[in-house]
């Protein structure tokens, strides 16, 4: 437990943290990678170059300092980060390394303010937080290892299917090399995949949403080809160089964003490749002959970039499913192909106000952050309660 003195000192450093901003976490990462370059095989280096990870870490550190006397409010963030850590195979011996470089960063950036009392307080605060993560991550690791088809660490999988879903998205099906069963998962969760991209300095681990229902024998992910460069190293490697019979290392399914059974109507809202976890949920609902209304609302650039379109049409024959699509560019679609459930422009949920289960449905969002902010605001304006709006952010977390 932290002493009252520790808590008071940590909270007193909040103005210093806020005035320094992401300079703290940028310095921290640079320092850590200089001294421990082996960690470049674990951390997402693309997010370092775009600035996404330093910003996310700064927000997390600031939130921890502000709520250090009421850590219960951070339980959701802890759960989300712990799941992500397991997909990187983070281990207890990584935490002292991170803690050392965090304290040294504070010492180097604020030598006058980093008194022995401040060092002791932040050391104790970091030790408490590390202990929380180590405990929760061990629980997640053990859960994955002890369930039927589960495992610890990396497991080798072979690519047994590779199929284009649209002009930018390709699906990959992975089957374990040992030909043994695989652990199940909650629709909406993701896989951690470790690869060594061609002509790349280090190995990379990425997380991709599972895009099919659990089957006990294989996994499917659907990956969007990002622009060449940063980010896009891994997605382009998968599209261009990962072929049938190739082998990759995969970590067990993880993620705190997933379908929650409430015996209530379901609304799946996505944009672009955010469709992937929604497709997993939809496949599961269709497989179990879900008897409540399901709405599948999707926005994308064009019909050429619309993944799973034909599959959704087939599934609409199995369950009570309404699907609506918004294209920014209708391209080759003619008037006869346009219909009441195909629109041009931005998603407008108000048009569906009389149909959506605004009072009792669960709403799941996935896509670019700006899109989800846009969709969430529309839902709130339609009086959907915030606790029934669930969302997933690809990459470093951001609040909507």
Active-site residues: which are they? 95, 137
CB atoms within 10 A of CB 176: 18
Binding site annotation covers 262?
no
Distant-in-sequence, close-in-space partners of 197: CB < 8 Å, separation ≥ 6: 204, 233, 234, 236, 237, 241
Binding site annotation covers 229?
no
Binding site annotation covers 208?
yes
Binding site annotation covers 114?
no
Q: What are the backbone dihedrals phi and psi of residue 246, each rounded to the nearest 5 degrees, phi first?
A: -70, 155
Binding site annotation covers 96?
no
Binding site annotation covers 293?
no
Binding site annotation covers 78?
no
Binding site annotation covers 155?
no
Distant-in-sequence, close-in-space partners of 23: CB < 8 Å, separation ≥ 6: 109
CA nearest neighbour of 159 among 193, 188, 190, 206? 193
Binding site annotation covers 85?
yes
Distant-in-sequence, close-in-space partners of 351: CB < 8 Å, separation ≥ 6: 343
Work out the angle between the directed axes of helices 94-109 and 23-35 (0-180°, nearest 10).
130
Gap between the Cα atoms of 79 and 255, Å rounded: 9
Binding site annotation covers 29?
no
Name the β-bridge partners of 254.
190
Q: Give the H/E segment covering residue 253.
A: strand 247-254
Binding site annotation covers 195?
no
- Given a contact cutoff of 8 angstroms between Cβ atoms, the answer to whether 250 and 194 are in contact is yes
Binding site annotation covers 396?
yes
Distant-in-sequence, close-in-space partners of 337: CB < 8 Å, separation ≥ 6: none
Binding site annotation covers 276?
yes
**Separation of first and last alpha carbons in the chain:** 32
Gap between the Cα atoms of 376 and 367, Å rounded: 12
Binding site annotation covers 100?
no
Binding site annotation covers 133?
no
Phi and psi based region of residue 252 (left: phi greater than 0; alpha: psi -120 to 50; beta: remaining): beta
Work out the angle between the directed axes of helices 52-66 and 4-12 (0-180°, nearest 10).
130
Binding site annotation covers 64?
no
Q: What is the CA 206 to chain-centroid distance, rounded?
A: 10
Binding residues: 85, 190, 206-209, 272-277, 393-396
Q: Which residues are annotated as a binding site for heme b?
A: 85
Q: What residues form the annotated binding site for FAD?
A: 190, 206-209, 393-396
Binding-site positions for NADP(+) read 272-277
């Amino acid at each position: 437990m932290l002493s009252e003195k520790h808590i008071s000192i940590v909270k007193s450093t909040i103005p210093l943290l806020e005035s320094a901003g992401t300079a703290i976490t940028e310095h921290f990462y640079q320092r850590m990678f200089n001294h421990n370059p082996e960690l470049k095989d674990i951390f997402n280096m693309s997010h370092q170059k775009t600035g996404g990870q330093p910003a996310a870490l700064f927000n997390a550190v600031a939130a921890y300092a502000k709520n250090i006397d009421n850590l219960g409010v951070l339980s959701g963030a802890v759960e989300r980060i712990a799941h992500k850590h397991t997909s990187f195979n983070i281990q207890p011996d990584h935490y002292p390394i991170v803690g050392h470089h965090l304290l040294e960063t504070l010492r180097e950036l604020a030598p006058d303010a980093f008194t022995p009392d401040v060092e002791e307080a932040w050391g104790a605060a970091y030790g408490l937080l590390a202990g929380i993560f180590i405990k929760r991550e061990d629980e997640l690791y053990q859960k994955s290892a002890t369930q039927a088809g589960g495992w610890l660490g990396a497991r080798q999988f072979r690519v047994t299917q590779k199929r284009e879903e649209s002009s930018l998205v390709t699906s990959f099906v992975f089957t374990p090399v040992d030909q043994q069963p695989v652990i199940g998962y909650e629709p909406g969760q993701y896989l951690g995949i470790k690869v060594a991209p061609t002509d790349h300095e280090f190995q990379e681990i990425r997380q991709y949403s599972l895009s099919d229902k659990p089957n006990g024998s294989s996994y499917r992910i659907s990956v969007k080809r990002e622009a060449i460069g940063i980010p896009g190293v891994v997605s382009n490697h998968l599209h261009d160089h990962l072929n049938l019979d190739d082998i990759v290392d995969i970590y067990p399914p993880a993620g705190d964003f997933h379908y929650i059974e409430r015996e209530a109507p379901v609304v799946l809202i996505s944009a672009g490749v955010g469709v992937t976890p929604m497709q997993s949920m939809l496949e599961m609902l269709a497989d179990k002959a879900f008897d409540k209304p399901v709405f599948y609302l999707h926005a994308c650039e064009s019909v050429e970039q619309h993944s799973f379109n034909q599959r959704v049409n087939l599934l609409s024959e199995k369950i009570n499913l309404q699907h609506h699509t918004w294209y920014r560019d209708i391209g080759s679609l003619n008037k006869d192909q346009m219909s009441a459930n195909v629109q041009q422009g931005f998603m407008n949920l108000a048009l569906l106000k009389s149909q959506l289960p605004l009072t009792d449905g669960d709403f799941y969002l996935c896509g670019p952050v700006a899109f989800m902010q846009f969709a969430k605001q529309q839902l709130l304006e339609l009086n959907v309660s915030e606790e029934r709006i669930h969302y997933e952010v690809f990459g470093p977390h951001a609040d909507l």
